[in-house]
């Protein structure tokens, strides 16, 4: 079997998980190079990785570049993805910079694996909260159509990067020791014993950029701009694992029993739905897992074809690293790299 030279850019919350996922999935790696802003050695699961400082020439001889750096104009992907493409790499980017560009496929393999073949050098990984919602809804859309989605998220602090985890731990530590220490804020608000409805920046309608990602990215992945989608995103003091209360209206009637049966046989989904026996998905149980977990599937008695689902996944794995590596596997499967 052919092996590939792989570059991982960034060794923060997602980059570290990327190294773990590549190993755990036995990805056919020939040469692995790891880049960040500063050179050092990092150890993941007992395995040492030499981290080099990223520069324009870092991609020579590489086949696949998995970007997990910072976003924005001066971020890793905007600055260095063009150099990676010039060197012959296929770029898979975790950030938001390229996701909505018409020439960049936005891929969740369980929903739109065929889109990878449209790539012109870059494939984008969707936002973590979008990935898990789309995994759960794609089979339902195929079977019964989707007219409406209303989603409220309960997003873990690792979703804001390693700095979010550090802030949370320090706030709880300061509370436990009663030190009165003022903890610097990586996120917009205090998170210990708190939740806040603010991830990203607000637009003039009052929605955050994270909320609009759920709308626009879902339309793009499901190839359907007609689905009416509205979102409220909330940061909660959970380390890893995003939860979502997802309300849908399907075009055709489908019972909760049929949804359960359908999702049970759909790829990448694990149904845990026995609430009377206290069985439903929770972030503490999904950390380190690759599936999207679905439970609390129930009918809305007031609205025709209305259903509720509770959807939980590890934001660093299926929401980021695992999905990116699955896209790379899809490139290999479709002989596109
Ligand atoms: N966290 C999540 O749940 C999640 C989910 C989906 C997508 N994402 C996206 O994934 C990306 C990474 O997120 P994260 O949570 O892992 O962030 P993070 O913990 O803050 O880590 C960022 C990493 O990127 C490196 N980096 C930043 N700028 C760079 C540059 N110009 N050149 C090379 N390396 C650079 C940093 O290097 P140093 O270590 O040397 O500073 C660091 O290792 C972001 O675009 C984020 O939006 C995150």
Residues 137-161 pLDDT 10s: 999 999 999 999 999 999 999 999 9
Q: Is 126 in the pocket of ligand 1 (CB under 6 A)?
A: no
The Cα 311–Cα 128 span in angstroms is 12
- Shared domain for 118 and 198, answered yes or no, is no
Q: Is 19 in the pocket of ligand 1 (CB under 6 A)?
A: no
- Shared domain for 272 and 155, answered yes or no, is yes
Q: Which pLDDT tens digit goes with each residue over 232-274?
A: 999 999 999 999 999 999 999 999 999 999 999 999 999 999 9
The Cα 219–Cα 239 span in angstroms is 29
Residue 269's domain comprises 130-315
Cα 14 to middle of ligand 1, angstroms: 7
Residue 226, pLDDT above cutoff 90: yes
- Shared domain for 308 and 324, answered yes or no, is no
Nearest CA to ligand 1 atom 33: 36
Q: Which atom of ligand 1 is nearest to the CA of 69?
A: 24
- Shared domain for 180 and 75, answered yes or no, is no
The Cα 63–Cα 85 span in angstroms is 9
C-beta separation of 232 from 285 below 8 A: no
Q: What are the CA-CA distances from residue 212 to residues 108, 232, 258, 275 (Å)?
A: 18, 9, 30, 31
Nearest CA to ligand 1 atom 31: 76
The Cα 37–Cα 2 span in angstroms is 31
Bridge partners for 313 per DSSP: 242
- Shared domain for 105 and 228, answered yes or no, is no
- The predicted structure's pLDDT at residue 239: 98
Q: Is 10 in the pocket of ligand 1 (CB under 6 A)?
A: yes
The Cα 167–Cα 158 span in angstroms is 10
Terminal Cα distance for the chain, rounded? 13
- The predicted structure's pLDDT at residue 1: 85
Coil, helix or strand at residue 150: strand
Percent of the chain with pLDDT over 70: 100
What is the arithmetic mean of pLDDT over 169-193?
94
Q: Which pLDDT tens digit goes with each residue over 5-36?
A: 999 999 999 999 999 999 999 999 999 999 99
Mean pLDDT (the chain) is 97
- Shared domain for 66 and 78, answered yes or no, is yes
The residues, ordered by sequence, that sit 6+ positions from 165 with a Cβ below 8 Å of its Cβ are 13, 157, 158, 239
- Shared domain for 173 and 105, answered yes or no, is no
Q: Is 76 in the pocket of ligand 1 (CB under 6 A)?
A: yes
- The predicted structure's pLDDT at residue 263: 98
- Shared domain for 327 and 226, answered yes or no, is no
Q: Which residues are catalytic?
A: 128, 242
Best probe residue, ligand 1, of 55, 161, 165 (max atoms within 8 Å of C-beta): 161
Cα 223 to middle of ligand 1, angstroms: 28
- Shared domain for 194 and 328, answered yes or no, is no
The Cα 320–Cα 325 span in angstroms is 9
User: Could you give the number of structural domains in the chain?
Assistant: 2
């Amino acid at each position: 079997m052919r092996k590939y030279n792989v570059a991982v850019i960034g060794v923060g919350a997602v980059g570290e998980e990327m190294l773990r996922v590549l190993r755990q999935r036995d990805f056919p790696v020939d040469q692995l190079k790891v880049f960040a802003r500063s050179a050092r050695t990092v150890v993941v699961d007992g395995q040492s990785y030499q981290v080099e400082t990223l520069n324009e020439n870092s991609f020579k001889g590489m086949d696949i570049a998995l970007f997990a750096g910072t976003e924005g104009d001066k971020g890793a992907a905007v600055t260095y993805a063009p150099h990676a493409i010039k060197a012959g790499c296929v770029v898979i980017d975790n950030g938001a910079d390229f996701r909505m560009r018409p020439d960049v496929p936005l891929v969740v393999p369980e929903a739109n694996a065929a889109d990878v073949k449209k790539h012109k050098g870059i494939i984008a990984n969707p936002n973590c909260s979008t990935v898990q919602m789309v995994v759960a809804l794609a089979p339902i859309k195929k079977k019964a159509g989707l007219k409406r989605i209303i989603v409220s998220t309960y997003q873990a602090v690792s979703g804001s990067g390693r700095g979010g985890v550090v802030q949370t731990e320090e706030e709880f530590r300061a509370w436990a020791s009663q030190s009165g220490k003022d903890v610097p804020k990586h996120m917009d608000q205090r998170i210990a014993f708190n939740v806040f409805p603010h991830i990203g920046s607000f637009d003039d309608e009052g929605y955050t950029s994270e909320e609009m990602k759920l709308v626009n990215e879902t339309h793009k992945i499901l190839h359907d701009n007609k689905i009416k989608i509205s979102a409220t995103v909330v940061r909660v003091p959970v380390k890893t694992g995003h939860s979502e209360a997802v309300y849908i209206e399907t075009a055709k009637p489908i019972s909760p029993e049929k949804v359960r049966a359908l999702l049970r046989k759909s790829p990448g989904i694990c149904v845990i739905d026995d609430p009377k026996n206290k069985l439903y998905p929770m972030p503490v149980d999904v950390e380190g897992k690759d599936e999207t977990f679905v439970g609390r599937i129930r009918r809305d008695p007031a609205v025709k074809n209305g259903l509720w689902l509770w959807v939980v996944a590890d934001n660093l794995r299926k929401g980021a690293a695992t999905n990116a590596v699955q896209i790379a596997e899809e490139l290999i499967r479709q002989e596109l790299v």
